């Protein structure tokens, strides 16, 4: 079976080590309230974008970056995906996709967003196809009374696509074997 090369990864069969890796991935991550595709209008055409409603109350630096993004543009951003893939058949749906983001301008900041690989898969497929994810600190109100103030991140989509292909393959194998999706 093809195993994609990921930016960072760890293999372990030890349940305690898996729990430690998961706890480490979640520690300090910005909570995601909701993540969904929305339609935005650009140049009089509808465009679907991956929008993450993040809980930025504890991160005024990131909240301010969203505002600065509107005034000064994207700035210098480096993104990196990390993945915690659980091979245990009973827990494989608990696998995580972790987006690390580092800004060097217009201000310095570092953040981490943790996505449930199976729960957020449609959104992650859209992000991989478009090469970007938009982040907002606004509460998730659909429909919104006004446009969301958001920060669009260009992401490294190649790694994300490889992991999503692996997840799709796992689901196809499980479905063919009569397992639950």
3-state secondary structure of 30: strand
pLDDT, one tens digit per residue, over 39-92 is 776 677 788 889 999 999 999 999 888 888 778 876 788 999 988 877 666 777
pLDDT, one tens digit per residue, over 99-157 is 999 988 888 899 999 999 889 999 999 999 999 998 988 876 766 666 677 888 889 89
C-beta separation of 115 from 32 below 8 A: yes
Tell me: cis bond preceding 143? Omega within 30 of 0 counts. yes
Packed helices 121-130 and 157-176: angle between N→C axes, nearest 10 degrees: 140
Distance CA 77, CA 62 (A): 13
Per-domain residue ranges of the chain: 15-173
Please say if the pLDDT value at position 6 is more than 70: no
| Model confidence pTM above 0.85 | no
Confidence grade of residue 4 (pLDDT, cut at 50, 70, 90) = very low
Instruction: Single out the residue of 146, 137, 131 nearest to residue 65, CA to CA.
Output: 137
Please name every residue paired with 133 in a beta bridge, in sequence order, or none if there are none: 153
Strand duo 76-84 + 150-154: pairing: unpaired
Length of the chain in terms of residues written = 181
């Amino acid at each position: 079976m093809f195993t994609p090369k990921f930016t960072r990864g760890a293999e372990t069969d030890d349940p305690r080590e898996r729990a430690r890796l998961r706890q480490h991935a979640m520690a300090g991550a910005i909570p995601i309230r909701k993540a969904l595709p929305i339609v935005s209008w650009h140049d009089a055409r509808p465009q679907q974008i991956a929008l993450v409603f993040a809980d930025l109350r504890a991160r005024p630096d990131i909240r301010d970056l969203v505002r600065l993004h509107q005034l000064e543009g994207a700035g210098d951003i480096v993104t990196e995906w990390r993945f915690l893939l659980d091979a245990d058949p009973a827990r494989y749906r608990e696998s995580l996709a972790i987006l690390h983001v580092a800004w060097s301008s217009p201000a310095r900041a570092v953040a981490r967003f943790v996505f449930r690989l199976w729960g957020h898969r449609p959104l992650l497929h859209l992000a991989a196809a478009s090469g970007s994810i938009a982040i907002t600190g606004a509460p998730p109100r659909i429909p919104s009374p006004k446009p969301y103030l958001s920060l669009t991140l260009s992401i490294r989509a190649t790694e994300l696509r490889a992991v999503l292909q692996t997840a799709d393959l796992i689901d196809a194998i499980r479905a063919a074997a009569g397992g639950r999706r």
